[in-house]
């Protein structure tokens, strides 16, 4: 399955008592996320902190980005799951969109629909604290990074009075569909999710090639069926969650970059579930010193068009090559 990454932090204004005074005064607000990176790179890219608009073919400001995305019925914020700065920026974007007068639903890839009741019950509490949400939904058992990485997004949602919803299907259902086919879904769900509508040949081939590449080219395209079906089911379910929760107010999606692609992922289903509604996709992209050309850092669709409307360049999480361990596994 194609996966993404995450972590974030939120700005807070605190009050401190002044010695010898009966009143208190606020501290200066914390620096915005793009001025206080959590991941430190000794040799940063010249793109660091910049936002590229593919429509304008130019850099834009965070304020311009928030205003543009607030105009879309559906705004998708694509992350790398283990990147703390991506989650901090997602939290900022959620707050900034809400400040534009919007109250969209906030749909998460990280919550699956089996957690919907726990998520709703928690939000019904008064008062609520974002730090406790992870415990309420058994986050530690989900396999996602630790809850504090995602907490700033929840803090932004609570501060802006936005309702959060689960977006992903349960893991058991994804596995069942992968092993078999979409007939394992409840009656009528295949049609509701548009999974009876095949992707165009070039989109299907591109997705299969991405699955092969993500497995270090150790599997043939003919073996990608289970992951291909799983990816489609997940994209379709997130789109349905957005369409239902955002039927009147629109919705924001928190998900990995692979799910916010304009060509074949969640937007493919949203455009068909909600004809006439607007969709806007932002990818947060980690960069290193050698990364200097903004348009080269976003995946392209088979038609040569960028797979996102905007890219916001952040520090990159540097990891060991995962193919080394995977090749050892396949060699056994």
**Going by C-beta distance under 8 Å and a sequence separation of 6 or more, which residues neighbour residue 136?**
118, 119, 121, 122
Is residue 188, in this structure, part of any structural domain at all?
A: no
Sign of the CA dihedral running 273, 274, 280, 284: negative
Mean pLDDT rounded to a whole number for the chain: 91
Strand-strand pairing, 310-315 and 279-287: parallel
Per-residue burial over 78-115, b = 16 or more CB atoms within 10 Å of its CB, e = otherwise: bbbbbbbbbbbbbbbbbbbbbeeebebbbbbbbbbbeb
Q: How many CA atoms lie within 13 A of 146 on its CB side?
A: 4
Tokens of 192: 């509701």
Q: How many residues does the chain have?
A: 332
- Structural domain count of the chain: 1
CATH code, domain with 130? 3.40.50.11550
Sign of the CA dihedral running 90, 94, 97, 99: negative
Sheet of strand 105-112: strand arrangement: 58-60, 51-53, 310-315, 279-287, 74-79, 251-256, 105-112, 164-168
pLDDT at 12 over 70: no
Is residue 271, in this structure, part of any structural domain at all?
A: yes
Specify the DSSP element, H or E, that contains 156: helix 147-159
pLDDT at 330 over 50: yes
pLDDT at 6 over 60: no
pLDDT at 21 over 50: no
Is residue 11, in this structure, part of any structural domain at all?
A: no
Distance CA 125, CA 119 (A): 10
Distance CA 104, CA 129 (A): 20
Per cent of the chain over pLDDT 70 is 90
Is residue 246, in this structure, part of any structural domain at all?
A: yes
pLDDT of residue 321: 86
- Own/partner contacts of 220-225, CB < 8 Å, gap of 24 or more, are 225/178
List, for residues 240-294, the tens digit of each pLDDT value: 999 999 999 999 999 999 999 999 999 999 999 999 999 999 999 999 999 999 9
Strand partners, 107: 165, 253
Q: Which of these, 169, 308, 272, 158, lies nearest to 229 by C-alpha position?
A: 169
- Classify burial at 260, counting beta carbons within 10 Å of its beta carbon; exposed 0-12, middle 13-18, buried 19 or more: buried
Distance CA 10, CA 156 (A): 7
Q: Are 264 and 203 in contact (CB under 8 A)?
A: yes
pLDDT of residue 197: 97
Number of Cβ atoms within 10 Å of the Cβ of 214: 18
Distance CA 113, CA 11 (A): 29
Is residue 208, in this structure, part of any structural domain at all?
A: no
pLDDT of residue 329: 75
Torsion of CA 300, 305, 310, 312, to 10 degrees: 30
Parent domain of 268: 34-179+234-331
pLDDT band at 324 (very low <50, low <70, confident <90, very high): confident
Is residue 203, in this structure, part of any structural domain at all?
A: no
Is residue 7, in this structure, part of any structural domain at all?
A: no
Is residue 43, in this structure, part of any structural domain at all?
A: yes
């Amino acid at each position: 399955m194609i996966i993404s990454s995450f972590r974030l932090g939120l700005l807070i204004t605190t009050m401190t008592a002044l010695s010898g005074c009966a009143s208190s005064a606020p501290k200066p607000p914390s620096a915005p996320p793009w001025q206080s990176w959590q991941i430190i790179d000794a040799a940063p890219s010249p793109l660091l902190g910049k936002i590229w608009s593919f429509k304008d073919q130019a850099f834009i400001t965070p304020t311009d980005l928030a205003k543009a995305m607030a105009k879309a019925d559906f705004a998708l914020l694509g992350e790398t799951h283990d990147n703390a700065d991506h989650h901090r920026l997602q939290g900022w974007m959620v707050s900034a969109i809400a400040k534009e007068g919007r109250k969209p639903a906030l749909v998460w890839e990280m919550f699956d629909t089996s957690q919907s009741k726990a998520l709703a019950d928690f939000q019904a509490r008064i008062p609520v604290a974002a730090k406790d949400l992870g415990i309420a939904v058994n986050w530690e058992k989900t396999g996602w990074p630790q809850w504090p990485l995602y907490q700033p997004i929840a803090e932004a949602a609570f501060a802006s009075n936005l309702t959060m919803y689960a977006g992903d299907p349960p893991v058991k259902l994804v596995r069942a569909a992968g092993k078999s086919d979409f007939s394992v879904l409840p009656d009528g769900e295949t049609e509701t999710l548009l999974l009876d509508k095949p992707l165009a040949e070039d989109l299907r081939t591109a997705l299969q090639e991405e699955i092969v590449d993500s497995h270090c080219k150790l599997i043939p395209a003919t073996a990608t069926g289970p992951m291909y079906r799983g990816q489609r089911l997940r994209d379709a379910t997130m789109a349905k969650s957005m369409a239902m929760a955002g039927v009147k107010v629109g919705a924001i999606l928190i998900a990995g970059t692979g799910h916010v692609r304009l060509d074949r992922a969640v937007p493919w289903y949203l455009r068909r579930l909600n004809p006439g509604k607007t969709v806007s996709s932002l990818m947060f992209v980690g960069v290193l010193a050698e990364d200097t050309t903004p348009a080269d850092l976003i995946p392209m669709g088979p038609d040569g068009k960028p797979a996102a409307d905007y890219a916001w360049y952040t520090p990159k999480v540097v990891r060991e090559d995962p193919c080394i361990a995977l090749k050892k596994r396949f060699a056994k």
